[in-house]
Chain A
């Protein structure tokens, strides 16, 4: 565990792993996209629009997984003071926001032909929208605080508060929706998935997940470099000040 705590070790490790991750991502996407466009048949209910599901479902899944990763990183920072945990949480937030955004947009584009409207205040859509706002809040809070260490810790608190309250939001939105418009909302994935649809979906889900880890690793590397630059700037200022102080 201690080994992982060392940024230098992480830089060496990720430098070797990242090209493989990128290659694997490309390979998986090639297979996944081929399957979703050429081998998957049109769904008997959704028609060709089922192909949107192949990118929508993995986006939504990663949007949630990314928040889980931020929560775990936040615990790592607050409880174990893991030096890489804050880097991980900071790197993950914009990536999670992008996946949440694509999940929302693709869902909306799927909804127009299927439900006849771009947006339904369906329980699931609403809770993903709130998740998107939580991501924006996390990013905005971190940007607003100048001190890097404090920004990390305060964002971690917000992320954990969000973790506690997300299930409550999800539950309340479900409850709210069933209260106001029962039965009118079609459930996505209502039909049991046939293997010809399921396999492309699984391959795409794995492809998105590997892509996420590649992006996250790259973002963490950038963040570590940024902190090195910041540390060097301070030493540089120190050195520049020393001769003046000696005069």
Chain B
């Protein structure tokens, strides 16, 4: 378990030192949200109504930008191969890297969302729920994303391919993430129901994705 923790810490340290990746995701998120009202018009009621959906969609796109980072650097400098030979099971390596990705991308994106929500006139009462659902949802985003990152690892032109593979798999997270925020703002459906399902999806991703991504990595290094 200590190997697991130190791997998470190492990945976080590397991401922080690099800095650029987190900055890219956050910057993209900010830009998308900032230009959206310019396209839609300044109608505050309209913006408030679509804010949860827009914030979630932009969050998924921003996270997608940084997904290839989960394995790419370690793949290129060969340290991924060393890790695979090492004592830690491959599934745990994937899990550690996904968690590190969540902490360095998902968490900052979720935390900045309320600020962007202000720009979109999002109901103040929904801020807490928005952050909560995004924290849970981005966990699933990172783990499912790890599958796509592993599958497209080393293919060079991974960007579009990764989006094509992964975005359909994000549909449930998007629907239940937006659903639970919407439930708080407009009702009448239950927040608990959609939030519980969102938790279930993220949990299932945490359990299952390391196996799929691990199998993909194993085949890469055969």
Q: Which residues of A contact B (CB under 8 A)?
A: 78, 130, 133-134, 136-137, 140-141, 144-145, 150, 153-154, 157-158, 160-162, 164-165, 168-169, 171-173, 175-176, 179
Contact B208 A144 (CB under 8 A): no
Q: Given A141-B152, A154-B220, 11 more contacts at CB 8 Å?
A: A133-B167, A140-B161, A144-B152, A144-B155, A145-B155, A150-B220, A153-B219, A157-B147, A162-B168, A169-B169, A179-B179
Contact B172 A165 (CB under 8 A): yes
Contact with A along B184-196 (1 / 0, CB 8 A): 0000010000100
Interface of A is mostly: helix
In the complex, which residues of chain A have a beta carbon less than 8 angstroms from the beta carbon of B167?
Answer: 133
The 4 lowest CB-CB distance pairs between A and B, nearest first, are: A172-B172, A137-B165, A176-B175, A172-B175
What's the minimum C-beta distance from A187 to chain B, rounded to whole angstroms?
20
Bound-state CA distance A24–B4 (Å) is: 59
Taking a contact as CB atoms closer than 8 A, the residue among A157, A169, A179 that contacts B212 in the complex is A157
Interface of B is mostly: helix
Given the interface pairs A158-B151, A161-B147, the reply to whether A169 lies near B179 with Cβ below 8 Å is: no
Contact B172 A168 (CB under 8 A): yes
In the complex, which residues of chain A have a beta carbon less than 8 angstroms from the beta carbon of B182?
Answer: 179
Contact B219 A169 (CB under 8 A): no
Bound-state CA distance A153–B222 (Å) is: 11
Taking a contact as CB atoms closer than 8 A, the residue among B201, B215, B219 that contacts A168 in the complex is B201
In the complex, which residues of chain B have a beta carbon less than 8 angstroms from the beta carbon of A144?
Answer: 152, 155, 157, 161
In the complex, which residues of chain B have a beta carbon less than 8 angstroms from the beta carbon of A162?
Answer: 168-169
Q: Which residues of B contact A (CB under 8 A)?
A: 147, 151-152, 155, 157, 160-161, 164-165, 167-169, 171-172, 175-176, 179, 182, 189, 194, 197, 201, 208, 212, 215-216, 219-220, 222
What's the minimum C-beta distance from A197 to chain B, rounded to whole angstroms?
33
Bound-state CA distance A176–B171 (Å) is: 10
Bound-state CA distance A164–B172 (Å) is: 12
